[in-house]
Amino acid sequence: MYLSATAKIPASTTNLGPGFDVLGIGLSLYSRVILEEKASGTKIICLGEDSEKIPATPDNIAYQAVMKIFDHFNYQPPGLQLTIDNGIPAIRGLGGSGTAILGGLLTANSICHQRFGIESLSCSEILSFATEFEGHPDNVAASLLGGVVVSAMEHSNKDNLPSVMSIKLLPPSDLRLIVAIPDFTLTTQKARSVLPDSVNFSDAVFNIGRSSLLVAALVTDNLDLLATAMQDQLHQPYRAKLIPGFNEVFEAAMSAGALSVSLSGAGPTMIAYARSSSNTKKISERMTYAFKNNGLNCQTQILSVDINGTKVDSPSRKSIL
């Protein structure tokens, strides 16, 4: 029998201002990864948003994640077809690489469970494998678990994998995220290259206070605190210089009624936070206009928080005959 598995993985936004490499939120924007056993050969198919930017070769990170799990279970399928149906703009700070990694890990994990009847890898183990690929847990933890996720990482466990501790929290159900995605890409490597090697003690204390306040505000429904709680001194002041119109987009969203605004991950996407009762369309339009004023087209989406995380389905056992 040839086996298959499908994963539906939410995008994520991370840092949320002060929570650098620590805080993340799952978003109601999704990619799917479908893994199918075949009689022979390997085929990688990339569909959907920015599919031309996703390699259909063994360099594909979802494929590498698949093979990581198969190697872990010492399994070599006769052939594979891997399909990435991408719904997340690539290299824009929305966790696209994390969704691909999780899709590969989880579909391969499901096939090994079906094939051998073995216990599936735990959520914690999947998170460790995913963090090994990413180098930081915030995106993959938010996409895997959904909701607001706080993560901390130790560098290795007994299997030489990162040891990740993540806690999922539920924000107010009326929280909306107005996502403004400018029409250019910014790699994490470039965005990290502008960060200083060390920071002032006072800046570290500033961010500890803001990130702690942010978590408390989100879980106690004190969203009016977000304007203060999402302030940052560690990364956004440096990364803002890579994004034309950053300050104008920020001010445009705030003047239109947003509770706060932050970079999404490394950028260039910017996200405004508001309640569903706010004029989210007005905020979206103002952000679009501000980017356009700085020579950039952008697409906007009004999203909610995905609270369910990644879902895996194993719909069929295909006969060899």
pLDDT value, residue 118: 86
Instruction: Identify whether residues 21 and 155 lie together within a single domain.
Output: yes
All residue ranges of the chain with pLDDT < 50 are: 317-321
189 within domain boundaries: yes
Domain of 290 in residue numbering reads as 175-304
Instruction: Identify whether residues 12 and 147 lie together within a single domain.
Output: yes
* CATH classification at residue 220: 3.30.70.890
Q: For 131-184, give the DSSP string.
A: HHHHSSSHHHHHHHH-SEEEEEEES--TTSS-EEEEEEE---TTEEEEEEEESS
317 within domain boundaries: no
pLDDT value, residue 319: 35
pLDDT value, residue 320: 32
Q: What is the pLDDT of residues 112-130, one digit of tens each?
A: 999 998 888 999 999 999 9
pLDDT value, residue 157: 61
Q: What is the DSSP letter of 52?
A: G
79 within domain boundaries: yes
Instruction: Identify whether residues 154 and 208 lie together within a single domain.
Output: no
Instruction: Identify whether residues 126 and 216 lie together within a single domain.
Output: no
95 within domain boundaries: yes
3-state helix, strand, coil in the chain (%, to 5): 35, 30, 35
319 within domain boundaries: no
* CATH classification at residue 118: 3.30.230.10
Domain count, the chain: 2
